[in-house]
Amino acid sequence: MSDTSFMPEHPPVTDWVHDFDHTDPRWTENPFPIWDELREKCPVVHTRRFQGCYLPTSFEAVRQIAYDTEHFSSRRVIVRDERPEIQKNGAPPITSDPPEHKPAKQLLLPPFTPDAVKKLEPRVRAICNELIDGFIADGACDAADCYAKFIPVRAIAHMLGIPEADAGLFIDWIHRILELSIKDESQLKTAAEEMGAYFIGHIEARKRQPTGDLITTLMNARDKSGAPLDDMHVLGSLRLLLIAGIDTTWSAIGASLWHLAKTPADRHRLVAEPELMPTAVEEFLRAFSPVTMAREVIKETEIQGCPVRPGNMVLLSFPAANRDPAVFPDADKVVLDRKQNPHAAFGLGIHRCIGSNLARMEMTVALEEWLKRIPEFHLDPAHQVKWSQGTVRGPRQLRVLF
Amino acid sequence: MSGKLKVHVDPDKCQGHARCKALAGELFDLDAYGNAHEKGDGTVPPGLEDKAYLARANCPENAIDVTED
């Protein structure tokens, strides 16, 4: 697969407009000024890195691409140095295009409605408090690595009916699939194989003894013709739920706590006015949207006057769209009671995140429980905040004192 | 004198973000897949006009219409 003319090294970026790189340390550390600069220059920029990739930077350009499934395919949703072969059952429906997309998505939607995820809320509240119990006496902790990280992974394990104690395994797979694989394709292969073997074991166990969890629900699902899904489809969807449901929300919780740790006025306000939590959560989602998706251009077209050619990927930056001042006044400010906030943190169009209601519930509960028990906290000046690289952005090291 | 307001969710545009239900549960409901529709015939009871406009302003897909009878 590897093309010898292609250089996997990533030299530092000197020209963001013609040679952007979302794995550059400056992007990882603070992408917002980069997006602002690019948005002023051009609504769609291009880089020759990653074997060719576009980046729309305005809300309108992102929206147009997200809505256009004729020219932009979801068969590849991560921008990497290499283009791994397309798998038939990648991770439906996130890797599906019409017409396969809708039936695959509809199978997964009912367990993720607001009412359905509300049933999980008591368990998530308990998970948060168990985690806080583990460090509250220390007066310090890593809020990303000891708190945010474990909340979604345990919640999704609980939903799927797999042991919460396997959380470490899942976190390792996700790290290899979403971060390490950008520059080392072998990480994708081995992590996907290990994850596949793990889930096949759980599928086989439920064939012998059905349970009431989400894995069983998927196994019992029927397609339009009344046939059950084959094991590979079930496996692909499980892979999606695990990959999409973990470091995304972990990042959103971590980024929210990061903001509150360094912004006393907002922290005090949210403690004093807990009824602001719903708009605050939406604002954290807008300002620190963790997920950048991708598309592959499959037919030539134009976006906002910029020609777009097949063979290139598109980095579909919902986070950059959500910082577009044409749609969000004071886009670079966090406004806890922002009234008008039609953000695209969960995507736009047919691929709207299935887990959006789960993510909102987890964020709300994680912030509420933290603020109840640790209303006063700040960044530990002795440690740097470290951010993840690539597709999902959030703090991975976030030392705080309280 | 303004007439009565009505809300309507365009089912082809709605993608189930569920913001309308969260902001104006009196006016919107969700189906088994989490997609939204207006309650009843969409008539906005007096006092809920602001919520109707708030729901429209927060829909990421521009799927909500607010019309005056």
Residue A91 pLDDT exceeds 90:
no
Question: What residues of B are in contact with residue A339 (Cβ under 8 Å)?
Answer: 54, 57
Least confident of A231-240, A259-268, B57-66: A231-240
Average pLDDT along chain A: 92
Terminal Cα-to-Cα distance of chain A (whole angstroms): 51
**Chain A interface includes B12 (CB < 8 A):** no
DSSP code, position A179? I
Q: From the CA of A282, how many Å to the nearest CA of chain B? A: 10
- Token readout for A113 is 């409605």
Per the listing, tokens 């807008």 go with A286
Residues A402 and A394: their CA atoms lie apart, in Å, by 21
DSSP characters over A69-92: TTTEE-S--S--SS-PPPPTTSST
DSSP code, position A42? -
A202: part of which helix (H) or strand (E)?
Answer: helix A185-208
Pick the CATH number of A16-401 from 1.20.1250.20, 1.10.630.10, 3.30.750.200, 3.30.750.210: 1.10.630.10
Per the listing, tokens 């549960």 go with B25
For A269-336, the three-class secondary structure string (H helix, E strand, C coil) is: HHHHCHHHHHHHHHHHHHHCCCECEEEEECCCEEECCEEECCCCEEEECHHHHCCCCCCCCCCCCCCC
Residues A203 and A315: their CA atoms lie apart, in Å, by 34
**Chain B interface includes A340 (CB < 8 A):** yes
Tell me the pLDDT tens digit for each residue of B39-64.
999 999 999 999 999 999 999 999 99
Domain residues of chain A, as ranges? 16-401
Question: What residues of A are in contact with residue B32 (Cβ under 8 Å)?
Answer: 109-110, 113
Residues A341 and A327: their CA atoms lie apart, in Å, by 9
Mutation choice for B interface testing from A356, A358, A360, A364 by most B CBs within 10 A? A356
**Chain A interface includes B61 (CB < 8 A):** yes
**Chain A interface includes B43 (CB < 8 A):** no
Residues A390 and B42: their CA atoms lie apart, in Å, by 43
Cα separations in angstroms, A160 against A157, A221, A323: 5, 15, 34
- Token readout for A397 is 């090291």
What's the confidence (pLDDT) of residue A32?
A: 97
**Chain B interface includes A344 (CB < 8 A):** yes
Between helix A150-160 and helix A356-373 the angle, nearest 10°, is 130
How much is the pTM?
0.94
Is the ipTM beyond the 0.90 threshold?
A: yes
Residues A35 and A124: their CA atoms lie apart, in Å, by 35
Per the listing, tokens 């400056």 go with A26
How many residue pairs bridge chain A and chain B with CB atoms within 8 Å of each other?
A: 52
Q: Domains in chain B, start-ordered, CATH in brackets?
A: 5-68 (3.30.70.20)
What's the confidence (pLDDT) of residue A4?
A: 40
pLDDT band at A175 (very low <50, low <70, confident <90, very high): confident
Residues A41 and A58: their CA atoms lie apart, in Å, by 11
Residues A73 and A251: their CA atoms lie apart, in Å, by 26
pLDDT band at A180 (very low <50, low <70, confident <90, very high): confident
CA atoms within 13 A on the CB side of A317: 31
Q: Answer whether A348 sits within 8 Å of B61, measured CB to CB.
A: yes
Determine the 3-state secondary structure of A222 from DSSP.
strand
- Token readout for A396 is 């991975």
Task: List the 95-114 stretch of A: residues with Cβ below 8 A of B.
Answer: 106, 109-110, 112-114
pLDDT band at A62 (very low <50, low <70, confident <90, very high): very high
Nearest CA in chain B to A106: B33
**Chain B interface includes A169 (CB < 8 A):** no
**Chain B interface includes A329 (CB < 8 A):** no
Q: Answer whether A106 sits within 8 Å of B33, measured CB to CB.
A: yes
Asked if residue B36 lies in contact with residue B30, where contact means CB atoms within 8 angstroms, the answer is yes
Alpha carbon B62 to its chain's center: 11
